[in-house]
């Protein structure tokens, strides 16, 4: 198994809403930001290049003479199982997870990974390769040995590996025969209370039980149940329990296309992306993520006072996400640069007001919530509404975060309209008739102006920018956010124009024009999923189902999607797994599935 490997996105995600890691088909942990989503990746070999033999930045296991490997999630959970066997039939099973369960009435979800290696057949001979990195791959972690543990320093927080394997098997990496099982507990530099085997077994059973109980309470569609369950678990793992933030992806700098330079750090909370995640999980009945996210949004509103709302924040509400380059990391398949931070925080993206308010609206209408919001929260949201009124026809960078130009983007204007429209609905719900009238009047005047400025009579379509002549895929959401009725002929005409200009095979581009990095080469997966939703709204369900099945065929072996796909090869590109893409799977499955009452 030693050699120079071609990295792919055939990876599994494990996590517990505090920390998360990516594991390849060979059961190597090749990406793990420790202790939290945005921390130094002590496992960073996903973004390293070159031979594996002397490399550091991963935590792997090797079975002598391995001949076959199978990998899957344990049913309805975030517990990953990798089975290996050699030509003689000797076999092992590797169980990986991040603990998450309730203990003494409190949620227990430490910054820890658990790895259990079991003998399944014969007399397997294995080797453990525990090689964490420090300072974004610039050096191996500092190693300190104890009696039953090894500590790895050099990063902001030391990681301790507690194990019932021989410490020398960790430090010297010599192969040994696995008699029964070994357990590796990897987390805070603290003494583990109990024998590793018993702790690992207890954590495994409790974590499996937690996820299966969580899934059991989801309201899922009849068709594509496994797809929806996997997407929902993935979204849940990307929500940060401490603050309620939702990261766009757990990785940084996986290129959107080969050698494109479109390498961005997605380990932060975009208000736009988070709205889509909250909306998708709400549709499944998983409202706890929304409640936590509302706390995050309201605290940001309090932080900013009357300052402009940023499109993206850190997971602890950090406002400055300055970019720098991790020089020691060559990048995915050697395609650097590897970025830390994201300058999008400096951009003006006027759709954020609508994203924040739409993510909050559901809470005012859901009687199940323990602490339903009221007039005080509404007053906070009204401050965003006033900014939406001032900004709906102001040039910005738009949903696609164009770094080189500012125009009045139709999608941003529509989301500003949505902010006012939903504030009107919330005010009615709260019995505030004067405020309801105030916001509805703003929404009506904005709607009329957007329809006038963003409609191109020559193209017979809405266009990307006021008085422009191009389309982009965000226009497919006009009916989704209720700006237009699906029956409005302008919506159907716009969908046809988008197909004509942006379709590449069975996928859609975001847009087809030069930007800071040239023309887009890969298809943004969520745009294809928006297209599918639009077709379903237009009554073209059979065509939509065919396109949806095609997207599903691009999921990796564990049902996960990245940000982009190459239309010609079907290969996944971009940060992984992408919350946008997983949200789209849930939305399309719900929209296209037959109903339960007609299923049998």
Token pair in block for residue 32: 């793990």
Q: What's the full length of the chain, in residues?
A: 600
- What pTM did the predictor assign? 0.96
Give the pLDDT mean for 549-554.
Answer: 98
What is the DSSP secondary structure assignment for residue 566, as one 8-state letter?
-
pLDDT > 70 in the chain, percent: 97
Q: Residue 2's pLDDT band (boundaries 50, 70, 90)? A: very low
pLDDT digits (tens, 9 = 90+) for 16-41: 999 999 999 999 999 999 999 999 99
Q: Identify the CA nearest to 171 among candidates 143, 192, 191.
A: 143
pLDDT above 80: residue 522: yes
Is residue 204 within 8 Å of residue 95, measured between CB atoms? yes
From 506, 365, 356, 346, select the one nearest 430 (Cα to Cα).
365
Q: Which tokens go with 444?
A: 């009506």
Residue 532 in tokens: 């599918």
The rounded mean pLDDT for the chain is 94
Report which of 200, 182, 293, 174 is spatially closest to residue 242, judged by C-alpha positions. Answer: 293
Return the DSSP state at 249.
-
Residue 320, Cβ density class (10 Å: 0-12 exposed, 13-18 middle, ≥19 buried): exposed
Pairing of strands 29-33, 106-108: unpaired
- Nearest CA-CA partner of 32 in 51, 49, 12: 12
DSSP per-residue letters across 316-359? T--S----EE-TT---GGG--PPEES-GGGGS--TTHHHHHHHH
Non-local CB neighbours of 453 within 8 Å, separated by 6+ positions: 393, 408, 466, 467
74 within 8 A of 64, measured Cβ to Cβ:
no
Tell me the pLDDT tens digit for each residue of 210-260.
Answer: 999 999 999 999 999 999 999 999 999 999 999 999 999 999 999 999 999
Statement: residue 587 has pLDDT above 70: yes
What 3-state DSSP class applies to 95?
strand
pLDDT tens readout for residues 554-585:
999 999 999 999 999 999 999 999 999 999 99
- Which tokens sit at 199? 């702790």
By the 8 A CB rule, do 101 and 108 touch?
Answer: yes
Crossing angle, helix 288-304 and helix 375-391, to 10 degrees?
60
Mean pLDDT over residues 334-348, rounded? 95
Burial of 38 (0-12, 13-18, 19+ CB in 10 A): buried
Alpha carbon 159 to its chain centroid, in Å, reads 25
Classify each residue of 385-413 as buried b or exposed e, where b means 16 or more C-beta atoms within 10 Å of its C-beta: bebbbebbeebbbbbbbbeeeebbbbbbb
Q: Residue 6's Cα: distance from chain center in Å? A: 24
Spatial distance between the Cα atoms of 573 and 304, rounded to a whole number of angstroms: 35
Looking at per-residue pLDDT, the higher value among 542 and 368 belongs to 542
The rounded distance, in Å, linking the Cα atoms of 112 and 206 is 14
| pLDDT at residue 387 is higher than 70 | yes
- Beta bridge partners, 84, equal 69, 92
Angle between helices 375-391 and 410-429 in degrees, nearest 10: 150
Question: Which is nearest to 450 in space by CA: 487, 484, 497?
Answer: 484
Confidence of residue 5 (pLDDT cuts 50, 70, 90): low
């Amino acid at each position: 198994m030693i050699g120079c490997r071609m990295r792919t996105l055939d990876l599994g995600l494990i996590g517990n809403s505090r920390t998360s890691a990516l594991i390849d088909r060979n059961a190597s942990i090749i990406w793990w930001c420790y202790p939290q989503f945005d921390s130094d990746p002590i496992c960073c070999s996903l973004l390293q290049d070159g031979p594996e033999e002397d490399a550091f930045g991963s935590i792997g296991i090797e079975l002598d003479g391995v001949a076959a490997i199978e990998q899957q999630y344990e049913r309805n959970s975030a517990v990953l199982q990798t089975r290996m066997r050699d030509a003689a039939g000797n076999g092992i099973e590797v169980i990986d997870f991040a603990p998450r369960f309730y203990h003494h009435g409190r949620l227990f979800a430490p910054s820890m990974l658990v790895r259990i290696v079991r003998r399944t057949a014969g007399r397997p001979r294995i080797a453990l390769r525990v090689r964490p990195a420090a300072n974004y791959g610039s050096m191996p972690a500092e190693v300190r040995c104890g009696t039953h543990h090894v500590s790895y320093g050099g990063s902001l927080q030391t990681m301790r590996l507690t194990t019932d394997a021989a410490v020398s098997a960790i430090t010297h990496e010599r192969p040994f025969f696995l008699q029964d099982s070994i357990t590796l507990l990897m987390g805070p530099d603290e003494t583990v209370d109990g024998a590793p085997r018993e702790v690992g077994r207890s954590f495994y059973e409790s974590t499996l039980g937690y996820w299966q109980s969580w899934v059991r309470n989801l309201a899922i569609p009849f068709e594509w149940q496994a797809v929806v369950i996997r997407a929902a678990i993935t979204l849940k793992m990307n929500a940060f329990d401490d603050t309620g933030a939702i990261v766009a992806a757990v990785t940084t700098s996986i290129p959107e296309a080969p050698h494109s330079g479109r390498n961005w750090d997605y380990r932060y909370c975009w208000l736009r992306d988070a709205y889509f995640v909250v909306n998708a999980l709400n549709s499944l009945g998983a409202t706890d993520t929304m409640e936590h996210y509302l706390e995050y949004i309201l605290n940001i509103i309090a932080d900013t006072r009357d300052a402009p709302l940023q499109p993206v924040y850190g997971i602890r509400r950090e406002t400055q996400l300055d970019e720098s380059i991790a020089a020691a990391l060559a990048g995915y398949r050697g395609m650097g640069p590897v970025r830390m931070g994201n300058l999008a925080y400096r951009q003006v993206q006027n759709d954020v007001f609508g994203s924040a308010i739409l993510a909050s609206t559901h809470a005012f209408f859901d009687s199940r919530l323990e602490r339903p919001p009221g007039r005080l929260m509404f007053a906070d949201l009204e401050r965003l509404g006033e900014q939406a009124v001032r900004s709906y026809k102001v040039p910005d960078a738009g949903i696609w975060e164009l770094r080189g130009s500012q125009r009045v983007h139709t999608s941003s204007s529509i989301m500003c309209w949505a902010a006012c429209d939903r504030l009107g609905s919330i005010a009615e719900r709260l019995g505030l008739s004067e405020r309801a009238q105030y916001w509805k009047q703003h929404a009506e005047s904005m709607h009329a102006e957007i329809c006038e400025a963003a409609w191109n009579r020559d193209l017979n379509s809405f266009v990307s920018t006021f008085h422009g002549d191009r389309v982009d895929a965000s226009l497919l959401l006009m009916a989704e956010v209720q700006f237009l009725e699906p029956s409005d002929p302008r919506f159907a005409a716009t969908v046809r124009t988008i197909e004509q200009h942006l379709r590449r095979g069975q996928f859609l581009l975001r847009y087809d024009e030069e930007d800071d990095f040239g023309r887009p080469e890969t298809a943004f997966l969520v745009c294809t999923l928006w297209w599918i939703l639009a077709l379903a709204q237009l009554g073209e369900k059979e065509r939509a189902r065919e396109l949806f099945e095609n997207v599903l065929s691009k999921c990796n072996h564990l049902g996960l999607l990245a940000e982009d796909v190459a239309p010609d090869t079907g290969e996944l590109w971009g940060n992984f797994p992408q919350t946008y893409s997983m949200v789209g799977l849930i939305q399309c499955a719900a929209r296209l599935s037959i109903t339960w009452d007609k299923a049998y």
